[in-house]
Chain A
């Protein structure tokens, strides 16, 4: 069956620009997560959506980062005024409730 998909697969942007990253979770999965993977920091939790509950934003590194999940399905992670330290692979995962998370291929973001 279809897995988690993310777009774009690669994004190159200039410092100061805004970027939007998209995640399509597995159909029927109620929970959606964003993580980022970078050389210095490993895999870090960013934000978590579960059903209609308020998202857990405890991992967002600054107020330049935000995410929304529309209709309980697709999610968009927005980074405003990108900085070079935002360069990383942004991973999305989904799960049914809090069970096993299935990861997408990621979006590699490069901020010049």
Chain B
């Protein structure tokens, strides 16, 4: 069965600090990978996605993620966070042959102090 693990439940950073959120998945085949963000009071929005090609993908608001196939990882990074990045971040995987359904990690709550 597919599963997704996010290592950090709650991360607290000061503005301008660098961010890396870990995500590991378990699936034996080809995967599509996603990071979604949920700002306070808002619905889930796509940050970035990986389907194929360059394993380093860039998303909105300066976020990027790197797919490392050998480590089954898709970590999210941002060089300098802003207070407005305070949100909950979800990693998700869609496995080949699984239709389009997403399996989500438990989420990481990011709090950025101004």
- Judged by a CB distance under 8 angstroms, whether B104 is at the interface is yes
- Chain A interface residue count: which class? 20 to 34
Chain A residues with CB under 8 Å of B10's CB are none
Closest Cβ–Cβ distance, residue A100 to chain B (whole Å): 6
A56 touches B101 (CB 8 A): yes
> B90 at interface (Cβ–Cβ under 8 A)?
yes
Interface size on B, residues (CB 8 A): 20
Query: What residues of chain A lie closer than 8 Å to B103, measured between beta carbons?
Result: 45
| CB pair A42 B100 closer than 8 Å | no
Encode A81-111 as 1/0 by CB contact (under 8 A) with B: 0000000000101010111111111100000
Nearest opposing residue in chain A for B49, CB measure: A100
State in angstroms the CA–CA spacing of A106 and B107 once bound together: 17
CA distance A95 to B32 in the complex (A): 14
Whether, in the assembled complex, A33 has its beta carbon less than 8 Å from a beta carbon of chain B, the answer is yes
Given A103-B43, A104-B43, verify A98-B100 contact (CB < 8 Å).
Answer: yes
**Are B43 and A106 in contact, with the CB atoms below 8 A?**
yes
Nearest Cβ in chain B — how far from A88, in angstroms? 14
Complex formed: what's the CA distance from A93 to B36 in Å? 13
Interface string of A23-53 (1 = CB under 8 A from B): 0000000010101000000111100101000
Bits for B15-50, please: 1 = Cβ < 8 Å to A, else 0.
000000000000000000010100000111110010
In the complex, chain A residues whose CB is within 8 Å of the CB of B36? 103
Q: Which residues of A contact B101 (CB under 8 A)?
A: 33, 45, 48, 56, 58-59
